[in-house]
Structure 1
Amino acid sequence: MVALLTPELVYADANEEFARLSGRTRDQLVGRYLFDVFPDNPNDPEATGARNLEASLRRVLETGERDTMALQRYDVENPERPGEWEERYWSPVNAPVLGPDGSVVLLVHRVEEITELIRAHGLPEGNRARVLEAELYTRARELQEVNEGLREAHAREREVALALQAAMLPTLPAIGEVRAAVRYRPAVGTLHVCGDWYDLVALPGHRTAVAVGDVVGSGLAAAGVMGQLRSALSAASRVADGPARSLDVLGLYSRFVDGAESATAATAFIDHDTRTVAYSSAGHPPPALLHRDGVVEFLDRATDPPLGARPEHVPRPQAEVRFEDGDTLVLYTDGLIERRREDIDVGLDRLARSLSARPAALPEALADSVLAELLPPGGATDDTALVVVRL
């Protein structure tokens, strides 16, 4: 049973199964307030189905998060015999449909009708809910014990993975006289760490390669894949004639690395003599060029799918942009800009505003201020890597 509700809890639509099992036609549902169609049983002073359902729906509206309800007894009035109520047992799940600005525009109300299952128990009427509640409580305790064990194991793996990540991502590689700052912030309260990387490589001819990347996965496995891809791209950058060619090599290499599927990367070659930045991206958020007048330009004219996304190899695109002394190049991973229930353009705009507010800031100060402004106070739920280079 599935129905769509507006934020005002009015039925916007319902499937045939919802109408059939609820004993209502579609015309009796669509356009009507939920609790006008299904009020609580007035003959039962202990009826709480409507109140519990409304509380769940309000939680979804306020938080934008999915809410799974406990088993509910919900009496339904027989539409053909007003005043006659039928005992029903429903297991509802309520989920948000989000608009571009992250607000809840619709509610998905999905219900499992389990009345027949309850009746099959063969228990006296008054004991059904009590017995089921006891069974559910026992299962919940068993799952809780399993989850506690998993959390301990995950915590140990997280510590080892972070140590490995730190060993493979030095504070700041030696890149001659280039002024740069690098940052890595692991996700907070989750095992989803160690898939992000950064790299800076001094190239012949007064050039510098800058790269960031992100592996799909987490923990030790992601850290291992991250290390392989970072090393491969670093080596390819030293011999490739440009960033697109270095990503070509990385893409071919990634086909032979388990866990590298759909990894993303962006790389830029800075030519300090010609004052140009050549760049290419494999499914990664675009680098940002902060001009010294405060204008932020996203380098998005050479974007391609992630590594291994195509069945056959296709050469990567490459674009070039000029810079002036005092401009700043910023590369980052999606943990800096992406937020749940939010369009990615909102995060990019937030980054642009943060950068444009301080065009003269040195890399270290700029990196700290951007992280402070863009990451949630309690920490992000995804890794974040950031590289800031003064041009």
Structure 2
Amino acid sequence: MVALLTPDLAYADVNEEYVRLSGRTREQLVGRYLFDVFPDNPDDPTATGARNLEASLRRVLTTGERDTMALQRYDVESVDRPGEWEERYWSPVNAPVVGSDGRVELLVHRVEEVTELMRARGGPEGSRARVLEAELYTRARELQEVNDRLREAHAREREVALALQEAMLPAPDPVGHHCAAVRYRPAVGALNVCGDWYDLVDLPGDRIGVAVGDVVGHGLRAACVMGLLRSALSAASRVADGPAQALEVLGLYARSIEGAENTTAVETCVDWDTHTLTYSSAGHLPPALLRVDGTVEFLDRATDPPLGARPEHVPRPQSSAAFAEGDTLVLYTDGLIERRREDIDVGLGRLADALTRHRAADPERLADALLLELLPAGGATDDTALVILRL
């Protein structure tokens, strides 16, 4: 038996087996609140099936994680004989369907019907039925306990990963007299954190290097890989002859680190003496240059595959763009703009529009405005790093 439920716990759809075993028609199910159709037996003060099921569904809505319930007795009122209740036994599993904004859009409510097995307890096969009942109940409890332990372990790993992320991504040192803002927002969910980084590096002369990157994967392992790559790129930027060479060095280093393959990164060198931006991208989203007049230019003329994506080393491309005093440079990771089942140009368009509307804001207020407008209300399913530099 399978039903799709809305977050309000109304039936969105049911399969034929659900219709058959529940004794209801589709018209009696679809569109109606679950517990209006199947309330607890009011004549039985010990009935808890509805309360237990609702608690499980609420957990799934809150955590976004699958929930396996123990075997439930759930009396069902007869359709033909109102007021008469039939003893039923169901073993439910509830799972989320997550939308592009990271929120639970639907609930999959799957039920194993074991009523006939329980009824057999009183017949010739009663002994065997009781053994199977005990095994079924024990298995359900074991699954519930495993689910609880995994949830706790995931929560602990998230806390450790976030602490590691905070230690690796501190507030940047002042970059001369230039005004910069940085932000990091972890993804929603137990493990979807810690693949993104940012960095600002003082370079000789009136220059700085600005970078962001995104490691494939999540959790503690991604956080550790992120720390290694961030440190390596920071060091390479200080000695390399431009962003392209810095990314070439990083790409060679990434080949020796398990889990670093297909990391994306972009490095931009800002030279205030020549009012020039020099940049190179390893498969990353293009930096945005917000002009004083409100127009937005995406720096996308030097994009190459991610780190380690090519079997052999080749030089990376590099390009330059002029900037004027008062322009704003924005580097970001995909959590800010990418949404499932949506073309990337739509997200880039949202970013450009927000930058134009908030062009008068200083970097700190601009960073807050972008996160508020562009991140889903329930939190993104990927973490987000953001660097904003007033030129």
Task: Give yes or no for the alignment of 1:164 onto 2:167.
Answer: yes
Instruction: Go from structure 1 to structure 2 and tell me whether the alpha carbon gap of 1:183 and 1:138 turns closer, same or farther (over 3 Å shift).
Output: closer
How many residues are paired up? 379
Q: Which amino acid in 2 is paired with 1:350? A: R
- Partner secondary structure for residue 308 of structure 1: coil
* Deviates further, 308-317 or 136-145: 136-145
Which amino acid is the alignment partner of residue 294 of structure 1?
G
* Post-superposition offset of 1:314: 1.9
Identity fraction in percent: 58
How far residue 111 of structure 1 moved from its aligned partner, in angstroms, is 12
| Conserved 8 A contact 1:242-1:278 | yes
Matched, 1:151 2:152: no
Distance in 2 (alpha carbons) for counterparts of 1:194 and 1:300: 26
Higher mean C-alpha displacement, 138-147 vs 287-296: 138-147
Question: How far apart are the structure 2 equivalents of 1:111 and 1:321?
Answer: 60
Cα gap change, 1:358/1:139 in structure 2, threshold over 3 Å: closer, same or farther?
closer
SS of residue matched to 1:209:
strand
User: SS of the counterpart of 1:307?
Assistant: coil
SS at match of 2:331: strand
Q: Distance in 1 between matches of 2:375 and 2:186?
A: 11
**Is residue 2:219 matched to residue 1:218?**
yes
Preserved contact between residue 195 and residue 217 of structure 1 (Cα < 8 Å) = yes
Partner letter of residue 187 of structure 1?
Answer: A
Residues 130 and 307 of structure 1: CA distance in aligned 2, closer, same or farther (over 3 Å):
same
Aligned to 1:256: 256
1:337 aligns with 2:341: no
> Cα offset for 1:301?
1.8
In the TM superposition, residue 289 of structure 1 has moved relative to its aligned partner by 0.7
Equivalent of 1:140 in 144, 150, 158: 144
Report the equivalent of 2:311: 311
Q: Secondary structure at the match of 1:211?
A: strand
Measured after TM superposition, the shift of residue 70 of structure 1 is 9.1
Residue in structure 1 matched with residue 30 of structure 2 by the alignment: none
Equivalent AA in structure 2 for residue 140 of structure 1: Q
Cα deviation digits, residues 7-52 of structure 1 (max 9, x gap): xxxxxxxxxxxxxxxxxxxxxxxxxxxxxxxxxxxxxxxxxxxxxx
Q: Deviations over 1:192-224 (max 9, x none)?
A: 3332221122222432211111223322x3333
Mapped to 2, the partners of 1:96 and 1:140 lie a distance apart of: 20
Deviation at 1:188, TM superposition (A): 4.2
Deviation at 1:265, TM superposition (A): 0.6
Which 5+ residue runs of structure 2 have no aligned equivalent? 1-63, 71-89, 103-107, 113-125
Does the 8 Å CA contact 1:213/1:284 hold for their aligned counterparts? Answer: yes
Distance change (3 Å), C-alpha of 1:70 and 1:223: closer
Q: How does 1:34-73 map to 2 (within 5 A)?
A: none
Q: CA deviation at 1:288?
A: 0.6
**Counterpart in the other structure of 1:26:** none
- The answer to whether the 8 Å contact 2:330/2:386 transfers is yes
1:372 counterpart residue number:
372
**CA shift for structure 1 position 130:** 10
Q: Which residue of 2 aligns with 1:348?
A: 348
Q: What is aligned with 1:22?
A: none
In 2, distance between residues paired with 1:245 and 1:225?
21
Give the whole-Å Cα distance in 1 for the aligned partners of 2:295 and 2:222: 36
Residues 172 and 182 of structure 1 are in contact (CA less than 8 Å); yes or no, is this contact kept in structure 2? no
The 1:230–1:144 alpha-carbon spacing in structure 2 relative to 1, beyond 3 Å, is: closer
- Aligned partner of 1:281 in structure 2 is 281
- Answer whether contact 2:202 2:208 (CA < 8 A) is retained: yes
TM-score normalised over the length of structure 2: 0.65
- Verify the 8 A CA contact 2:161 2:223 in the aligned structure 1: no
- The equivalent residue for 1:359 is 359
TM-score, length basis structure 1: 0.65
Matched residue, 1:227: 227
Indicate the residue corresponding to 1:321 in structure 2.
Answer: 321
Once the two structures are superposed, what CA deviation does each residue of 1:211-250 show, in whole Å capped at 9, x if it has no partner?
Answer: 111223322x333322221222122212222211111111
Distance 2:199 2:157 in 1: 30
* Residues 61-106 of structure 1 deviation map (CA, whole Å, 9 limit, x = unaligned): xxxx9999999xxxxxxxxxxxxxxxxx9x99999899x999xxxx
Q: Is 2:236–2:249's contact at 8 Å kept on the other side of the alignment?
A: yes
Q: Which 5+ residue runs of structure 1 have no aligned equivalent?
A: 1-64, 72-88, 103-107, 113-121
Cα separation, 1, equivalents of 2:146 and 2:284: 41
Q: Residues 339-389 of structure 1, C-alpha deviation per residue, up to 9 Å, x if partnerless?
A: 345443332222111101022222122112112222234443332211111
Q: Shift of the alpha carbon at 1:323?
A: 1.8
In the TM superposition, what is the alpha-carbon distance from 1:150 to its structure 2 partner? 4.9
Q: Residues 138 and 249 (structure 1 numbering): CA distance in 2 closer, same or farther, change over 3 Å?
A: closer
Alpha-carbon distance change, 208 to 157 in structure 1, aligned in 2, over 3 angstroms: closer
